[in-house]
Amino acid sequence: MKITVSTHKLSGYRATLRTAKQLAESAARLVNRSVPGSMPDVQITLTNARGLAELATTAEAELAGGVDKRVRDREERHAARGACNVDGRAVPLAEGSVLVLINVDRNASPGEFAITLVHELVHAMQFSRKGVRERIIRDRRDTFKVERQSRRQARENERCHDDEEREAYSREYLADQIVPGARAA
């Protein structure tokens, strides 16, 4: 498990980057101990809403493979519309690691950042479970119009996604161990 922290299209966030590096290691250890699965290599990138949409779409298009540029651009525009309301996003990468994107505009305090980080690291752990990565790739291939999935597979993906979100929200209490009082704010 290797954790790297960087920024994308941000300037003047040196203190935030320093805080993120301090919190990332302890968050990864806590999540690794409390969530079933194995922690893959994680690249944490601090960015703004526009960068979040751009990086997530690029990573998902690479994961899907053989994506038409027009479809990719359409998906990026769609992601950019809702990105201002997103705290963070975890995306599995083609080589097996996970990209965790954090919207710094939505995570103003270390407590909020710790909650978002724990939530997204739980998703990173979920990607290591049997069949999850394949299901996500199948869904992304359908989204980018590379290969269709059946309605049954789409319903299964939606149900599993809801279960994974519930699990990630249920583990946010771990953020209090990193930043005391994180969930109280």
pLDDT per position as a tens digit, 42-96:
999 999 999 999 999 999 999 999 899 999 999 999 999 999 999 999 999 999 9
pLDDT band at 185 (very low <50, low <70, confident <90, very high): low
User: Is the pLDDT score of 161 beyond 90?
Assistant: yes
C-alpha 159/C-alpha 162 separation (Å) is: 5
Decide if 56 is inside a domain.
yes
Specify the amino acid at residue 130: K
Reported as half-sphere exposure (CB side, CA atoms, 13 A), residue 23 has a value of 27
Q: What is the pTM of this model?
A: 0.94
User: In 3-state terms, what secondary structure has residue 45?
Assistant: strand
62 or 182, higher pLDDT: 62
Number of domains in the chain: 1
Angle 132-143/110-127 helices, nearest 10 degrees?
Answer: 100
In a domain, 185, yes or no: no
**133 is a domain residue:** yes
The answer to whether residue 184 sits within a structural domain is: no
* Parallel/antiparallel/unpaired status of strands 98-103 and 88-92: antiparallel
Burial of 148 (0-12, 13-18, 19+ CB in 10 A): exposed
Edge to edge, the sheet with strand 42-47 lists: 3-7, 42-47, 98-103, 88-92
Residue 127, in any domain of the structure? yes
Domain that holds residue 162: 3-178
Question: Has residue 15 been placed in a domain?
Answer: yes
Tell me if 183 is assigned to some domain. no
136 within 8 A of 127, measured Cβ to Cβ: yes
Distance between CA atoms of 125 and 99, rounded to whole angstroms?
12
Q: Does 143 map to a domain?
A: yes
DSSP for residue 173: G
Buried b (16+ CB within 10 A) or exposed e, 29-56: ebbeeebebebbebbbbbbbbbbbbbbb
pLDDT at 182 over 90: no
